Every structure is written in structure tokens, then in C-alpha cells.
Amino acid sequence: MEERLQKYLSNNGISARRKCEEYIVNGRVKVNGEIVTKLGTKIDPEKDIVEFDGKPIKKIENYVYILLNKPIGYVTTVKDQFNRPTVLDLVKVKERILPVGRLDMYTSGALILTNDAEFINKVTHPKNEIEKTYTVTVKGIVSNEDVEKLKNGVEIDDYISGKAKVKILKTNEEKQISRLQITIHEGKNREVRKMCEAIGRKVLALHRRKIGNIDVKNMQIGSWRYLNKQELKQLGLTNA
């Protein structure tokens, strides 16, 4: 059965589908020894030999799904152009895995890694509305009015943030800090930080505690484990 080249690359752990399209256009993919740069090219996985950067692609036989409690100081990429430590330095497995979404270098917490491209698309697509819950420490005392603003959406760059669940966990008048719990389902680039900045609060610490109902509260920072079948079903993997 024929399959689009970019989908084949993505399904076998090269990268997300859009990134694979870039690789094709940039001439990094060969089919049967010939460079292919046309998007939409179809291949027969049973007969055609596909190479990426000169190496044959092996069909994935075993999918893995890993939960990492990411420390601060690690970037959420496979390779970093500035040679900073990446999350793959923490998770050592034989499979070629990719992060599901992103956490910036200065944010800790729950991050999933897998070699299942369709799962990545499902979990990261906004239409599936998988909630992400963050614990945020900000400078200053957050008011109930601030909370209502965050709940209803605030202006960030060129868009309004989606409705959020927000509650104040703790305030400290002496230190002039507040700790919030914020739950969103979109998770655009640095969204929680920008939401807090929009109400005039500088983020001092940011930790993603949960993806859906999957919690890292009992995991040490820097540790990882495999997701179980029940957790995968909660995230919409129907064949788990």
C-alpha cells in the first residue's frame, strides 16, 4: 500500500510531519538512491528504499511512550545548535524518540517523548483540548481581579489567550510573591509566561505538573518512566 513520503518519514521517527516536509524540500531524502524534493511523492514501504541524510530508514516495530519530569536548563529538541543539553541527554533508550510539544529551557515538569508520530499529532493538536496544568510563582500579590482576567483570556502578542482554569495556591506578603495553578489546553509558545506578563506579573518559576491527568508530582526532577496503558488511553491512544 502506497504512502506519502512525509508521512512515512514521520511515522518512522524522523520528525514531525511538517519538519519532514522541510527535509524533503531541502534535498535530504532519497528514494531508491534518488533525491526527492517534491511534496506528496508516494512510496511503497514494502519495496522502496528510503534514506534520510544518507542512512536507510528502518520501519518502527515497537512504539514507546515516556514521561519525563524535565529539569530546568534542558532544551526540548533532539539537537541544539548552541550545544546546550537536551532532554534526550536524560532519556537514554535505543528507540529514536521525539518530544511531544515543548517546554522552554527555564520551565520544568511533565514532558512526553515517543517515536509515534500520529500520537504526537493527536496530543499536540488544539482541537483535542488536552489540558496542561502549571504551577507558577510570580512576583507580587495576585488579586481576584487578576485571576478573572486570566480565566477569561488576556491579550498576548497578536491573539487573546484561551479560557483558562486559574486559582491562587499561596501568597506571601513579606516576600511579595504569589503561587498560582493555571490550566490551559492550547499551550502556544511561552503562553503561560506571557499570560502572567499581561497582568503585570513577572514569572519567577514555572513547572508543568500535569498533561491531562498524568501527574509528575511523585517523580524526582530529571527522572523518567514509561506511560502505562491506562494513561495512554486517557490521552486518546485507542489501541493501547
| Residue 240 belongs to some domain of the structure | no
Amino acid 5: pLDDT: 93
Q: Which domain holds residue 199?
A: 131-211
Are 138 and 123 members of one domain? no
**151 and 202 assigned to the same domain:** yes
Residue pLDDT, tens place only, 62-109: 899 999 999 999 999 887 778 899 999 999 999 989 999 889 999 999
Domain assignment present for 18 = yes
Give the CATH number of the domain where residue 102 resides: 3.30.70.580
113 and 144 share one domain: no
Annotated catalytic residue 104: yes
Assign 3-class secondary structure to 1-58: CCEEHHHHHHHCCCCCHHHHHHHHHCCCEEECCEECCCCCCEECCCCCCEEECCEECC
Q: ∠191-196-198 over CA atoms, to 5°? A: 90
Describe the crossing of helices 191-198 and 144-152 by its angle, rounded to 10 degrees: 130
For 101-130, the pLDDT digits (tens) are: 889 999 999 999 999 888 888 888 777 778
Q: Domain of 30: which CATH number?
A: 3.10.290.10
Q: Give the pTM.
A: 0.85
SS3 per-residue string spanning 45-83: CCCCCEEECCEECCCCCCCCEEEEEECCCCECCCCCCCC
The single residue of 44, 89, 104, 157 carrying the catalytic annotation is 104
Tell me which of 58 and 127 has the higher pLDDT.
58
Residues 104 and 223 in one domain: yes
Phi/psi zone of residue 154: left (φ > 0), alpha (ψ -120 to 50 degrees), beta? beta
- Judge whether 72 lies within some domain: yes
Same-domain pairing of 173 and 207: yes
Counted domains in the chain: 3
Q: What is the pLDDT of residues 175-222, one digit of tens each?
A: 999 999 999 987 778 899 999 999 999 999 999 999 999 999 999 999
